[in-house]
Structures are given as structure tokens and as C-alpha cells.
Structure 1
Amino acid sequence: MLETMESLPDGRVALRFTRRLAHPRELVWRALTEREHLRAWFVDILDYERSRLDFAPGADLAFVVGDLPTGRGRVTAHDPPVLLEYTWDAEVLRFELAEDGDGCLLTFTNIVDGPETATAVATGWDTGLDRLVTYLGGLDAVG
């Protein structure tokens, strides 16, 4: 669920979401960084075959959505399996994984241009993170 929506001094807005996951950080890290896992829960409209999603330190990223101009990004923080942060055009996406008993706590922060964008994307991220929880539960079922 959306925990906070904070206005930043530069006019941007930080949306913060948390999920308690009954999975070790290493498994969740793979779901956040590996193409075959991302396509199960992340942005539906992304062309995963044509996008460049190599989440290595300092890596350049490319987000391809149909015939639209390719979104560009860069990995700005990378500390497996604790922290992944990258840009997607003007946005910042930050995933933090903290140990929590036999699972982990995921804190996701999305920094966007302003309140209108924040309102427009908040529900989508809530849905996407719920899909991540469901997807990870399905991995348990297959062993």
C-alpha cells in the first residue's frame, strides 16, 4: 500500500510503498533485476525483448514501450541484495530490501515530477507490487 506521498523541496514528489514479503532478500532481488521475473509483475507495456535492463552498477538502461521514444535510465545505486536504484527518464525508482524474520521488507520509492504524476502512477505501483507478492507466492508453489 502507499505509505507516504511527500513533496520534495525541488517540486518533485516521492511516493513510498512497503510490502512484507515471506521470501529471502536474494529471491526478491532476482525478481527485481532479472528479465524473466520482471515481465511477470513489472510494467505491462514494456517490451522486455527490446529493452536494456542490465541492472549492474552504473549501467545504462533503455525502456522500450511500443513505438514511443525509448526511455533512458542509469543504475545509480547497486548493493545486492539490499539496494537497487535507477532512473527512468526524470523518475527515480528505489528498491530497498531489509531482513525481516524469515522474509524481508521491501520499501519502494518512486520520485516523480509533481503531484499530478504522483496521483497518476500511485495506483499502478500499488497494483504492480501486489502482483510481485502474488508472483513470489507462485514461485513457492513450484518449489
Structure 2
Amino acid sequence: MTDAQLALDGDTDVVIRRRFSHPPEKVWRALTEPALIRQWLSPDLIDCRIDARPGGSFRYDWPEFSFSGPILEARAPHHMVHVEHFNGDTTQGPTVTTTLAADGSGTRMTVVMRYKDAAARATAIEQGFTDGIAEVYGQIEQVSFPA
């Protein structure tokens, strides 16, 4: 599995699975270092901040919208849990658990986006929050890691 696989689980979860050729340490860096995040997430980011530790937070701003939230758990390079707020709306948004496991010389990533209820998940899907996930995560394969 190199392409992202997206599945609905139960009433509230969206699960994304993908394998990367990079080891977990590099995938973790791609997920937690602003300069690397810009390479794969979007060249249009106008602000990209992350403090990837429990009690930290993240913020990604585009000209038209933003995602931000608290980091609840972080154990480099294998596990992070954060809450994802769209445009600062703290009443909505999933709790996102990312797990990175060594898989040969690469990494198997599992992301679980858990919404508060079935209606919230349905709304997120209708609004396109799961669109393009395979393409976006696929860009991590192309990240240029500085030494």
C-alpha cells in the first residue's frame, strides 16, 4: 500500500492508511517541521507553526482558511494526537491520532480522525475535508530532507 487508503469506521471515524518509503523518523520530521510541512502540504501556506509536544499547538494558515489546535499527545517518532479546528471554530473538528510504525525500511502510517458524532463526520465529508488526502500525503514521498 503506497497510495492512501481512506475508510469510514463506525459512526464517527475516518481512517487513513499509507505506507512511505521513508523511515518513521523522517516521516515524523515531515509532519512536525514547518519547512518540511510546506513542501508536502501546500506551497500556498502563509503561516505554518507547530510545537509537537503535549501542551503544544499547531496552526496552518492559507489565504482563505486555517487549521489549528492543541497537541494532546506526542511521542516522537511514532505517535501524535491533536485536535483540528477549522477557521478557529473550537466547537467542531476531529481529534486526530497519527501512528507511525516501522515497516521494513519504510513506515506504515495510520491516521484516525474521530468526529464527535455521525452528523459531524458527514458534514466534514460533505464539505470536502477528506478530498485530496491521497494526493497530499503522497507528496511526503517527495520531501527533500536536509541533513
TM-score, with structure 1 as normaliser: 0.76
Sort the Cα spacing of 1:18 and 1:59 in 2 relative to 1 into closer, same or farther, 3 A.
same
More helix by share: 1
Partner of 2:89: none
* Of 97, 105, 110, the match for 1:107: 110
Count matched residues.
132
Contact 1:2 1:122 in 2 (8 A): no
Contact 1:15 1:118 in 2 (8 A): no
Question: Deviation of residue 26 (structure 1)?
Answer: 0.6
Partner of 2:90: none
**Structure 1 Cα separation of the partners of residues 55 and 7 of structure 2:** 28
Question: Deviation of residue 88 (structure 1)?
Answer: 1.6
Q: Unaligned regions of 5+ residues in structure 2, if any?
A: 86-92
Partner of 2:124: 117
Partner of 1:40: 39
**Structure 2 Cα separation of the partners of residues 21 and 117 of structure 1:** 26
Q: Show structure 1 runs of 4+ deviating over 4 A.
A: none
**Structure 1 Cα separation of the partners of residues 46 and 16 of structure 2:** 25
Contact 2:53 2:73 in 1 (8 A): no
SS at match of 1:97: strand
Question: Deviation of residue 123 (structure 1)?
Answer: 2.5
Q: Unaligned regions of 5+ residues in structure 1, if any?
A: none
**Structure 1 Cα separation of the partners of residues 73 and 42 of structure 2:** 21
* Percent identity for Structure 1 against Structure 2: 21
> 1:14-68: CA deviations, max 9, x gaps?
21111111221111110010001101112555323xx432212211333333265
Sort the Cα spacing of 1:105 and 1:55 in 2 relative to 1 into closer, same or farther, 3 A.
same
